Amino acid sequence: MQIQAEKMNTVNVRKMTKNDIKQIMDIESVSFGDFHWKPEAFAAEIENNIGHYFVAEDEKRHLIAYGGFWLIVDEAHITTIAVHPLYRKQGLGEKILQKMIETGYEKGVKWFTLEVRASNIAAQNLYYKYNFKSLGLRRKYYQDNDEDAMIMWTESIWSESFKNRFEELKTKLEEKLKV
């Protein structure tokens, strides 16, 4: 599928389905090159009881972003977030992150964690914005180039400071996406 970047009027975030996998693979390949998840991995995650995966689509129902997490007891481990390169810096990764956090509240999650490439400053800045903290490093975590991964965690998402910050950022993003 060839995506043409244009100003979006609406963005819909919904649960990922198997019918989305072909479009997801298009985003995977342009986002991660040869070192991306396989279609079977996404199919398995959709069926996985601990997996919670979402897609963002434009008004033409083209998928432009996706992400998901595993829920293990009361911890949400974000496994992936990707935005089609033509749609980056518009708040779509943030919109997916917000959907994950909202789902975390529904499921009784206490905190979120993830690994992010040490070189991925844009993603790190998004996580810092949501009060994730860097609490360690996984050396040579990424198999494609042996790059280190930062381990990031939130405080309790039920703390007043986290909830207030989340609601503030949600309002700001809603305003941004309306423009």
Which residues are the active-site residues?
115, 127
Q: Please tell me the distance from the alpha carbon of residue 154 to that of residue 139, in angstroms, as a whole number.
A: 21
DSSP 58-93: -TT--EEEEEEEEEETTEEEEEEEEE-GGGTTSSHH
Backbone angles phi and psi of 170, in degrees to 5 = -60, -45
Confirm if 36 and 28 have CB atoms less than 8 A apart: yes
Backbone angles phi and psi of 66, in degrees to 5 = -160, 165
Degrees, nearest 5: CA angle 169-66-158: 40
